[in-house]
A and B are shown apart, each in its own frame.
Chain A
C-alpha cells in the first residue's frame, strides 16, 4: 500500500511540474512576457524596473526556478485589473464555485442512481426508454445552450427564478454560502441543474450498465434463489456492486464539474472562479490566468490521487497489480 501511494505521489508531482513548465513556457515563449506580465500603460523606466524585479533579464531556466519558488510560497503574481494578489482573488471566488459544483454533484447522484437502476432493471419499459433518450440529450446538448434556454423559459418568460448572481449569502465558518438563505437557494437552483445535467446523464448510463450486468451475475441469481425480497436484492446485492464504478467516475468527474463551471458561471453570472478566469482571459489579466490554471491543475492532481487511493482501498486488485509491475 505504501509503495502504491508513494508511486502515485511521485507521479502527481511530475504532472504538476510538467503543467507548471507548460504554462510558464506558454506565457514566456509563445508571447512576449513583457506584454503579458507588465501593465501596458506603464512608463519605459518603470518597465525596465519591473523587468528587473521580475527577473526577466535572466536566462529562462533561472526564471522558471524563481517562478516555482514563488509559486511554492503562494505568490503567483498580482492581478493587473484588481491590483491584488492573484491567488487571493481566486481563493475568494473558490467557495462560490465549490458550492455550485457540490450542489450539481448531489443532484446528479440523488436523481441519477435511482433512474439508472430503474432503467437497468426494466430495459424495455417505455419509462426506461424515455430516461435513456433523456440521457442521450443530456450528453449531446451543449451546457451553455441548455443554460440559455433555462434562463429564457424559467427566468424570463415564466419569471419563477432569478437568472443571475448568487443572491443573499450568509457566512459559515468564515465562508460566504448561498444555500442557507431562501434567496440564495433560489439563485442556486438553475445553475446547479444546468451544471448537473451532463453528470446526471453519465450517472444514469453508468448505473444502468452496471445494473444490467449485475442482474445476470451468479450472486444475484443466488440471492433470488434464496428467496430474498426483490427490494433487498436490488438495494444490497445490485446497488453495492454498481457503486464502485459510479463512485470512481464521480470522484474523477468532480474536477470536471469545476472545469465546466466556467461555462455555467458565465451564463448565469455566478461570481465564482470560472467567471473570473474567462473575464481575465478576455482582459489579458495574465497573472490571474496563470494562477487559476496552476490551482485547478493542482486540484485535479489531488482529486485523481485521492480517487486512486480510495479505489485501491475498495478493490485490492488495483494496488496489487501496480506493485507487481
Chain B
C-alpha cells in the first residue's frame, strides 16, 4: 500500500533557523545587557583562575623553598634576587602577591560556592516540604526561618564561630547555617503557587510518591527564583567569609583566603605599603561585583512580572 507521506514533517523547523526553547529565550534575554554579559565573562575568568591556580600562578606562594624574607615588602613590578618579576609586589613574608591572590581566590570562591550549594540543597528540601505538607510542618519551619532571618548573618556566624573555633569545615557550617533560610523561604513561596497547579494534582491522582512529586515535578518548576538567590547568596557568602577571615575568626592561617591576605596587609597600610592589602581587595571586589551584576540581570530576566 502506498500512502503519500507528508513531505514536510510538521515538527521539523527550517534548516538553520533556531527553534525557540525556554533556554534560548533566556540566553537571548540575558545577553541583552552588555554589562551583565561582561560580568559573566569576568566571572568565568575568575572561576578559571581559581580552578587552575596551581598551574597558572607564577610561583607557589607557600613553597618555603622559593619564598624568602629577602623579597619581603617589594612594590609591584620589582624583581627578585633570582630574576623573577613580582607583578603585584610581595607581602611581609616575601611571597609573590599575584600568586597568593590566585590561591586565595581558590579558597574564597571554593568556600563560597560550596556553602551556597549545600545551603541550597538543605533549603530546597525544607522549603519544598513546608509548602507541600502545609499545616503544622509549614508553620514550624517558617517560624524558625523567620526567627533566624531576623538576626543578621554576621551575628549568626559570629555565634557559631565563637563556639566552634576556626577551620574550613567550621566556616562552611557557619555559612550554610546563615544561608539555608533564604533558600527555604524562596522555594517555599514558589512551591506554594506550584502546589495548586493541575500537573501536581495529576501526579497525585497517579498515586506517585511524595518524593517523586516533590523533586521530579515541583522542584524543576521552582528553579528560576532559586537561581537568582544562588548567585546573590554566593556573593554574600564570599563577602561574609572574607569579613570573618579579616576579623581573624574565620579561616585559619593555613588556608589563606582573600580576607586573610587583606588582613595581613592592613598592618602595612599605615606605612603606605598599600599593595599588600589593596590588590587582594580588588580581586575580592571584582569577584563579588561580577556575581552581583549577573544576579541582578538574572532577576530581571527570570522575573515573570517583567516578562516581555
Q: List chain A positions with a Cβ less than 8 A from chain B.
A: 15, 22-23, 26-27, 30-31, 136-137, 139-145, 148-149, 151-152, 156-157, 252, 255-256, 259-260, 262-263, 266-267, 277-278, 281-282, 289, 293, 296-297, 300, 304
Contacts and interface: CB of A to CB of B under 8 A. Distances in A.
Given A23-B159, A136-B292, A141-B289, 17 more contacts: A23-B163, A31-B163, A136-B296, A137-B289, A140-B288, A140-B292, A141-B285, A142-B242, A145-B281, A149-B281, A152-B278, A157-B272, A259-B158, A260-B154, A262-B247, A278-B248, A293-B162
B163 A26 contact: yes
19 contacts: A23-B159, A30-B164, A137-B289, A142-B243, A142-B285, A142-B288, A143-B243, A144-B259, A144-B262, A148-B266, A152-B269, A156-B272, A255-B151, A259-B152, A262-B154, A278-B249, A293-B159, A296-B155, A300-B150
B247 A266 contact: yes
B239 A140 contact: yes
Interface in B73-116: none
Contacts, number: 105
A187 to B, nearest CB: 16
B243 A144 contact: yes
Interface in B256-302: 259, 262, 266, 269-270, 272, 274, 277-278, 281, 284-285, 288-289, 292-293, 296
Q: How large is the interface on B (under 10, 10 to 19, 20 to 34, 35 or more residues)?
A: 35 or more
B251 to A, nearest CB: 14
Contacts of A157: 272
B246 interface: yes
Contacts of B152: 255-256, 259-260
Given A139-B292, A140-B289, A262-B247, A277 B158 contact: yes
B161 interface: yes
A289 B221 CA distance: 44
Contacts of B165: 31
A256 B247 CA distance: 17
B235 interface: yes
A145 B261 CA distance: 12
Nearest to B147: A15
Contact of B161 (A145, A148, A281, A297): A281
B198 to A, nearest CB: 29
A29 to B, nearest CB: 9
Contact of A156 (B154, B158, B270): B270
A296 B151 CA distance: 10
A280 to B, nearest CB: 9
Among B150, B270, B289, chain A packs the most CB atoms within 10 A around the CB of B150
Interface of chain B: mostly helix, strand, loop or mixed: helix
Contacts of A149: 278, 281
Given A15-B147, A151-B269, A259 B159 contact: no
Nearest to A27: B163
Interface of B: 147, 150-152, 154-155, 158-159, 161-165, 235, 239, 242-243, 246-249, 259, 262, 266, 269-270, 272, 274, 277-278, 281, 284-285, 288-289, 292-293, 296
B284 A145 contact: yes
A157 B147 CA distance: 44
Contacts of A31: 163, 165
Contacts of B151: 255, 259, 297, 300
A171 B130 CA distance: 53
A141 B281 CA distance: 10
Nearest to A164: B270
B249 A282 contact: yes
3 closest residue pairs by CB, A with B: A26-B163, A259-B155, A256-B152
A18 to B, nearest CB: 8
Residue in B159, B278, B288, B289 with the greatest tally of chain A CB atoms within 10 Å: B159
A263 B154 contact: yes
A156 B162 contact: no
Contacts of A139: 292
B253 to A, nearest CB: 13
Contacts of A15: 147
A262 B158 contact: yes
B205 to A, nearest CB: 31
Given A23-B163, A152-B269, A156-B270, A145 B158 contact: no
B181 to A, nearest CB: 14
Contact of B247 (A141, A151, A278): A278
A137 to B, nearest CB: 7
B250 to A, nearest CB: 11
Contacts of B247: 144, 262-263, 266, 278
A281 B174 CA distance: 16
B179 to A, nearest CB: 16
Task: Among A145, A255, A256, A289, find the residue whose CB has the most chain B CB atoms closer than 10 A.
Answer: A145
